[in-house]
Structure 1
């Protein structure tokens, strides 16, 4: 694989805002190091009636084309749990981040929640404390810390209630044993971890999706698409020490 591996540094952040716009509309915005996108989901209380999107920042030139597969969800039911959205479509044909946001919005609409804000932080290992391996991932919901993990490789090492659980294999099954709200938090925190690991690679040396050995993980990595998926400029926008600059489009409707 091309792309020189580097050390993870700093604080990777991922922010998500979900709002009930009116009784039949929910709006969500998401932003992290590599993405800034928004979704408006229209519904009738039980069924998705429309999906509108706004993709402001993305890693590959092919990413915006994933909005078309997303429209396959029109006519599908709202979901009680955000993870259930994956049962309604072929996840590999979708933009992972759009689908995550639509799942959260569909559950938001199902439960008639007015507003929810998530902020995930993934901190680099603390070498000064003699720990140069573990990432520390914390999730804040509406400003309050609700979940915190220490992660080494793919394994959660702490807290004890989660120790030994992989963030890769068996993760979905594990979250199904949780309450709906805890499962949602775990899904958001896990995705923040995955995005954060992008900091371990020299993005300037990775100019095409085909150079990454990631399989058919999402739309831009599908055969016939990955060959055209070149980097969309330098879209890396870190918010290590400026979280207040994230989600500048809250209050607008895609």
Structure 2
């Protein structure tokens, strides 16, 4: 077990479970717990089933209808090109794209993201695939300091060219890790500063006008770095959900 597991910080887990004619993708972290089930036939999605178990805004429950509109009838291979991410809940959208990418896999896939709380502005960030470390870096005030090949790049606005240079599996992992590291920043922002949706840029379903004026902060926040609980536990092996 890495020392990173022992540090307080942000935890995020994705699990993708493929089945015959369906695939389920799930995520849980401090602020979110969501599921997307895609049913597909001949490579085309016939039904999209989003579930919001835990979400941070009163307007979030409207997002599943938008996700169904975005992806129903779309070929699995075209999900990543479909766009419309900011019109959707970004987390449901990511789950749908992740599910489509792994719909033909033969075994479940688990990604774990761990981000330590900053100490004098410095954090450790790591992504594991099926328990094995795959990507990691250290950042200082959201600018990467390690590894050397990324040193000096800003987390928010300068990683895209590097991500685009990777092979597709590592691109997927790097995108998830970057977004997880950005979400982790919420642990050190006072709640009153992150609870006014009207000040947010229009980068997701709840922050679109005029919806952002109606959004109110709700939902439990969990700290998975304290105690034995882990995201997406307890685990129940997936079977094809009833139509």
Aligned residues: 232
2:83 aligned with 1:122: no
The 3-state SS of whatever aligns with 1:199 is: helix
2:96 aligned with 1:102: yes
2:15 aligned with 1:17: yes
Task: Report the CA distance between 1:205 and its aligned residue.
Answer: 5.8
Q: Pick from 31, 41, 44: which aligns with 2:41? A: 44
Instruction: Using CA pairs under 8 Å that are at least 6 residues apart, name the structure with larger relative contact order, 1 or 2.
Output: 1
Between stretches 49-58 and 149-158, larger displacement belongs to 149-158
Instruction: Return closer, same or farther for 1:206/1:251 CA change in 2, 3 Å cut-off.
Output: same
The 3-state SS of whatever aligns with 2:52 is: strand
Task: Write the deviation string for residues 109-168 of structure 1: whole angstroms up to 9, x where unpaired.
Answer: 1x5242110110000234xxxxx1221101111011111111223322211132233332
Task: Report the CA distance between 1:204 and its aligned residue.
Answer: 4.9
Partner of 2:155: 167
Structural mapping, 1:63-212, within 5 Å? 63-71=60-68, 72-79=70-77, 85=80, 87-109=81-103, 111-126=104-119, 132-204=120-192, 206-210=194-198
2:233 aligned with 1:240: no
Partner of 1:214: 200
Instruction: Return closer, same or farther for 1:161/1:96 CA change in 2, 3 Å cut-off.
Output: same
The 3-state SS of whatever aligns with 1:105 is: helix
Contact conserved, 1:73 with 1:89, CA < 8 A, in 2?
A: no
Contact conserved, 1:17 with 1:250, CA < 8 A, in 2?
A: no
Counterpart-to-counterpart distance in 2, 1:193 and 1:238: 15
Task: Report the CA distance between 1:170 and its aligned residue.
Answer: 4.4
Q: Which runs of 5+ in 1 are unaligned?
A: 1-8, 127-131
Partner of 2:58: 61
Counterpart-to-counterpart distance in 2, 1:138 and 1:45: 36
Contact conserved, 1:39 with 1:51, CA < 8 A, in 2?
A: yes
Instruction: Return closer, same or farther for 1:243/1:55 CA change in 2, 3 Å cut-off.
Output: farther
The 3-state SS of whatever aligns with 2:50 is: strand
Task: Report the CA distance between 1:226 and its aligned residue.
Answer: 0.3
Contact conserved, 1:14 with 1:121, CA < 8 A, in 2?
A: yes
Task: Report the CA distance between 1:31 and its aligned residue.
Answer: 0.3
Task: Write the deviation string for residues 67-103 of structure 1: whole angstroms up to 9, x where unpaired.
Answer: 11111211112138xxx62x31311111011111111
Counterpart-to-counterpart distance in 2, 1:178 and 1:144: 19
TM superposition score normalised by structure 2: 0.87
